[in-house]
Structure 1
Amino acid sequence: MRLQEKRLRQAVQGKTVLITGASSGIGRDVALLLAHYEANLILVGRNEERLRDVALKTGAQIYVMDLREKENRQRLCQEINQLDIFINNAGLSIHRSIYDSLERAHDFTRTMAINYFAPVELMLHFIPLLDVAQGQIVNVSTINTKFRPMAKWAAYQASKAAFDTWLRAVAPEVKHIVSTIYLPLVRTPMIASTKKYEYMPAMSSETAAKRIARLLYTKKKEDKPWWLLFLRFVRP
């Protein structure tokens, strides 16, 4: 897909942009793309080596941390005092039968920690900053939140749907732009552990990054695949 480069540059040049989950996959590609248009990047990720590599390529400020840990979320909030754009990209996917999770309650606590509690806590701090800047949050979500609940996806689907619902409830109140992108399967390291995805069609992380970047100048409330309209099992 082609971007309107002039509009994208106007949207991000000189702006402070925070991206979570930026050490690989979609977050990394968004960072590389926005750096080309002179955004001031703050990147958060768990893999120090990969995150430092992105920083070398983009000149970004980095925070090597696991946002599932409350003390890390608190530290990040304490240190971020000005923000124009927040791209909530960090996430965790689990595909597992409930019978295989009977003694794995942490499957649910860790998905909720990164997919729900982390972005909620960050947003409670960022909302006033984004309001002042008349800025924007882009939430990187999944088409799974539009589907009826599916077997073996309880941990992932419930946690992603929780933040999607929270953000849609918050959106009418805040004084900045709220956008959500509902992505289909994307070829990233996150899906590597699910073997059945190896041969399934998937969007490239570069294409996903461009779709996210497009939201930064179109300011649309949501972006989702057109074909969702034709699936009978999509929730109303």
Structure 2
Amino acid sequence: MAYCVNCGVELEPSLTECPLCNTPVINPKELYQTKKTSPYPKAKGQVDVVKRKDLAILTSTVLIATSLSCLLLNLFVFPNSLWSLFIIGACLVLFVLVFPAVIYTKLPIYISLLFDGVAVGFYLYMITFNTASNKWFIRLALPIVALVTILVEIFTLLLRSFPVFFLTTALYFFAEIAFLCVGIELLIAHYLDAPLKLVWSAIVLTVCGVIEVVLLTILSRSRLRDAMRRRLHF
């Protein structure tokens, strides 16, 4: 037997409202049978992805506008020195760095790295217009840029030609660090017309040599290699 929730009068099963106070009669079972609707839409919205072409246009416009505005300021407002070449060169380097990632993604990575080295070298060459001599560029800066570019190309070639693991990557990295430090010290000595001998780079070479021996030992022993992978989680 059902009763009104408001006045407590006894109700017949067929009634839909209380005959005394007109309170609607709700069957508790109907509450579970009705479907609960969510206030949120079922379809998920998605933000439109920025097209690569639009991003390339925006990036190029920003870099070109920055270069031109600095050049005009340099020519008509602050003509004492060619300071705008620093900004123009930096924009050029940024454009070369962004080019393979935004504008032309099919460019081979080796060509991209070569363009990066050329852009950095050209930027350093633009700095020579604000210096008394370009001797530092020809005998020091340009050879260092060439050395770094070659080492990066070799490092990329090794990573793409052989299986990539943490230990092998560390092996290539420390070997190139040793070559880079030795090359920089010899180039500095050549620029200063000093004797070609190793001083500070010998310390780096020794440390890297020890690390290389340890890594080669681990890589040559499967038990050590597996133990290192388990403990370092790589």
Taking structure 2 as the reference length, what is the TM-score of the superposition? Answer: 0.23
More strand by share: 1
Q: What's the TM-score, normalizing by structure 1?
A: 0.23
